[in-house]
Amino acid sequence: MKKLLAEFLGTFWLVFGGCGSAVFAAAFPELGIGFAGVALAFGLTVLTAAYALGHISGGHFNPAVSIGLFAGGRFDGKELLPYILAQLSGGILAAAILYFILQGQAGFSGVGGFASNGYEALSPNQYSIYSAILIEVVLTAFFLIVIMGATSKKAPVGFAPIAIGLALTLIHLISIPITNTSVNPARSTAVALFAETAALGQLWVFWVAPIVGAVAGAFIYRLIETEVEEKDQVADMQLSLD
């Protein structure tokens, strides 16, 4: 239960901080933080939550990450469904609170897109479904590669949250104009439930593409890691023979 609560809180923080920055601050008159600010906000939520909660649950905060780590042999399949449910619950609660806060604005007239993800008419720059799928697959794959590499036993100790947070910032800098950046089905689901657009009808893309990308990234990293380990073993054998 402590692990699940950590995943709940971490995903809550990611959606509340990342999507909250997009909803309230991205286009604030004259002092808006813009795409770069939103990208940094998402990265900071993961970085801070990973340092605060990662030692409890592993700091996934993302169903695609959990599935990818399972595919990469880093996560027990028995915990997969409870983790995903905890992540979804945390994200939805965060989106609900953002929704009620937004209604307190003077002259409130609706939440609009509510930082939801989309393609074609719902893409910030009108990108096609094919562009959306491809960018989400590629970026989630590299996100898993960074996560698995940064948390490897051979990686520098204590720096994983920084690498992962900066990776998520970079991912958002690349893809906000294309899909509003998902790489996280819990984040996409949470805000789509409240958006006043057709975001729910497009939600399947932001489940399928990140999961495919995460699994691909995990297998790629396992392939690289295995080759490195085999070379190290050969080198150790040669040293012992010498």
Whichever domain contains 48, its CATH number is 1.20.1080.10
Please count the structural domains in the chain. 1
pTM for this prediction: 0.91
Nearest Cα to Cα of residue 115 among 199, 30, 229: 199
Residue 165: which domain range? 1-226
Q: Minimal CA–CA distance to 140: which of 205, 195, 75?
A: 205
Say how far apart CA 146 and CA 154 lie, in whole Å: 13
Q: Which of the four pLDDT bands, split at 50, 70 and 90, describes residue 187?
A: very high
The count of other CB atoms within 10 Å of the CB of residue 129 is: 15
238 domain-assigned:
no
Is 133 inside a domain boundary? yes
* Residue at 234 is within a domain: no
Segment 107-134 shows an average pLDDT of 95
The proportion of the chain whose per-residue pLDDT surpasses 90, expressed as a percent, equals: 84
Tell whether 168 is covered by a domain.
yes
DSSP symbol at 156 = P
Q: What is the dihedral of CA 58, 61, 67, 69, to 10 degrees?
A: -30
Tokens representing 166 are 């900066």
Flag whether pLDDT at 234 surpasses 90.
Answer: no
- Note the pLDDT of residue 57: 96
| pLDDT given for residue 237 in this prediction | 46
